[in-house]
Chains A and B, each alone.
Chain A
């Protein structure tokens, strides 16, 4: 409650200073979110006024074979890229946390790929993953393994994109590193006094102590991995045979290529629901494996 004139004045001043962000938030975020919910209940092409059709778009989605395929592709990709990303970035952070000469150089090297624009990374990975002259198949060939058509085989395209996603784990590594450096030294010393080896120290000290960081990275990864768009758009165009056609890519096509903005909006709300459910599950499970120092 604002009791005095001075308090009201401060409140108004606060609002005035906040207004650039507040207006931006309302106009560019809140309003589009509200409108997209309304459009998801309409037939809307962007070029004609929306016509309210109730749940028609959602009903059509249930019967759209492609919708189920892109959902399956996205979940499969998430099942590969998400754990791989978390494990690899944690492993890299553990390595980079070792006090070795040139530590900062190694840290920089790991972080640099995160700064490379996706288009450049995609062009690079097109070369690396090329079936005939790609470096990966060349190395596999040296040990007598015929490399697959990473981007041309429906069976290999998702693992290939998941592999490529590891290219940009630099940000996650940095967050893990900050978490690792926050683990109190005395806990390791106590564990050493109890005769714990490196694995037991990692299992019983490091992991519990950085579990809030793992949880944070997990939530961010769930949100990010289900929205993957740029790499398949640039590298495979969703192919072959829709094997790398993801949810967000189909959503984009529905909205901006097929001009079915209502249908695309319905897809966006389903995507939000999926992300919310998965994030909710992560939060529910967190009570068993996330430990906060203050508690």
Chain B
């Protein structure tokens, strides 16, 4: 027994020694000649090919500016980054740079969880003039700059030119031109109707086989639909939600119209395919597979088409998404944000990296790698002519447009967005059983109550401080 316990103790001690000698080391991945540099910890939300693009930029920085200024950026890409950053900030151990989605910029800024950047930005010559207004404004809250953009997007209409030509007769019979995209929303509906195809199964049931257009496929920007009807769901000056605005209600009626015309069951059945086939980044992507002829997407779609189905490279085109009102180049502009969390240890060095990313040449390289437009006001000819998306000019123009919309400037936008999305789902799946005006009235009542509760909390917080 004594011998056995000695053997067990010896094994445990050996294991412990092994871990001490061969176990992980802090900063092990930092090259030996950079160990004296300031290490900037950078958490990035992208994984996969986009993360590789970011890593290229990080390596470029480390080999150039970083080497000169003795800064070494260590990039770690991860999923669920918002929750991880949130708990790291709360725990007092945040990264120096957080690469997050646009929808948390305002939320984090309103909670004083990120550093204001305007002074450091001005010191590096980054001002409002450097940026396209839509992105610059979206990075601000209460007059302070809280983020800068890593890569942005602008939403446009992608359409399958091959399917347009294959259905040229059908389109002409409907009085439509197969050689151009729709220019108004009414025209989009007519193109969509002409391009729908159905199959009948052995029981005589009709199924939607190819959709001309479906607002819910992929539906990423479905809650931004009101902007193509001339409004947003948040009235910034008045500080209130306007879900009952007739233009928002019309937008919902338009979305619901698709499920009323095609049948809620048929639409649900059709969109349910995306859930099981791996979704967006697979060759079964409904647009790439030719199951949806037109869809709302950002410039990056060109990269996915090229990598997933290269034979489709010349079978598509992009154009501004048509508007229901007399406005040109209406778009929604999402973006990836770089922020410095409160409590970061190396703010100055972190901003050196952010400023590097915002240099025109670096930004253009990164945006080409991610197949996106640039957030910067100036773009080079090389960027426009050698971009992987041949329609990058369309996206650049859209992002410059006075009708380009950023995320709504409300700290509880995330909650409002989720509730709006659910309400739209309800309208789509319930058919005529639910009226958009009623659904929006309920939503406005709920969200306004939540907004007032948020305001009251902030008032009490200010008083206690």
Contact = CB atoms under 8 A, between A and B. Distances in A.
A47 B86 contact: yes
A126 B419 contact: no
A156 to B, nearest CB: 10
A130 B275 contact: yes
A287 interface: no
A151 B275 contact: yes
B282 to A, nearest CB: 13
A63 B275 CA distance: 34
Given A43-B460, A60-B453, A146-B205, A240 B273 contact: no
A281 to B, nearest CB: 32
B457 A51 contact: yes
A66 B89 contact: no
Contacts of A242: 422, 426
B129 interface: no
A21 interface: no
B238 interface: no
B171 interface: no
A253 B461 contact: no
B265 interface: yes
A238 B422 contact: yes
Contact of A66 (B269, B276, B419): B419
A51 B269 contact: no
Interface stretch (B104-112, B178-186, B345-353): B104-112
Contacts of A241: 422-423, 425-426, 429-430
Nearest to B458: A43
B449 interface: yes
Contact of A152 (B271, B418, B464): B271
A144 interface: yes
A60 B451 CA distance: 12
A122 B270 CA distance: 20
A238 to B, nearest CB: 7
By size class, the interface of chain A is 35 or more
A204 B346 CA distance: 73
A259 B111 contact: yes
A131 B269 contact: yes
B461 A43 contact: yes
B410 interface: no
A58 B58 CA distance: 47
A141 B453 CA distance: 50
The dominant DSSP class at the B interface is: helix
B358 to A, nearest CB: 26
Contacts of B273: 130, 132-133
Interface string A200-220: 000000000000000000000
Max chain A CB contacts within 10 Å: which of B207, B429, B449?
B429
A257 interface: yes
B268 A153 contact: yes
A37 to B, nearest CB: 19
A263 to B, nearest CB: 9
Contacts of A45: 111
Nearest to A127: B276
Contacts of A64: 446
Interface string B105-143: 001100111000000000000000000000000000000
Contacts of B271: 152
Interface in A151-167: 151-154
A46 interface: yes
Nearest to B87: A46
Given A241-B430, A256-B83, A51 B275 contact: no
Nearest to B439: A241
Interface string B412-426: 101100110011011
Interface string A22-60: 000000000000000000000101111001010000001
A51 B412 contact: no
Given A51-B457, A130-B272, A152 B429 contact: yes
A258 interface: yes
Given A47-B90, A48-B111, A258-B415, A152 B272 contact: yes
B30 interface: no
A113 interface: no
Contacts of B86: 46-47, 256, 259
Nearest to B453: A60
A127 B414 CA distance: 30
Contacts of A47: 86, 89-90, 108, 111-113, 342
A142 to B, nearest CB: 10
Contacts of A245: 422
A65 interface: yes
26 contacts: A43-B457, A47-B342, A48-B111, A63-B449, A126-B275, A130-B272, A131-B268, A131-B272, A132-B272, A132-B273, A149-B265, A149-B272, A151-B272, A151-B275, A152-B268, A152-B271, A152-B272, A238-B422, A240-B428, A241-B430, A242-B422, A245-B422, A257-B82, A257-B415, A258-B414, A258-B415
Question: Ordered nearest first, which 5 A-B pairs have the shortest CB separation?
Answer: A241-B426, A152-B268, A47-B113, A47-B111, A149-B268
Interface of B: 82-83, 86-87, 89-90, 107-108, 111-113, 201, 203, 205, 207, 265, 268-273, 275-276, 342, 412, 414-415, 418-419, 422-423, 425-426, 428-430, 442, 446, 449, 453, 457, 460-461, 464
Given A153-B268, A154-B429, A241-B429, 11 more contacts: A48-B111, A65-B442, A131-B268, A132-B270, A134-B276, A149-B265, A152-B272, A241-B423, A241-B425, A242-B422, A245-B422
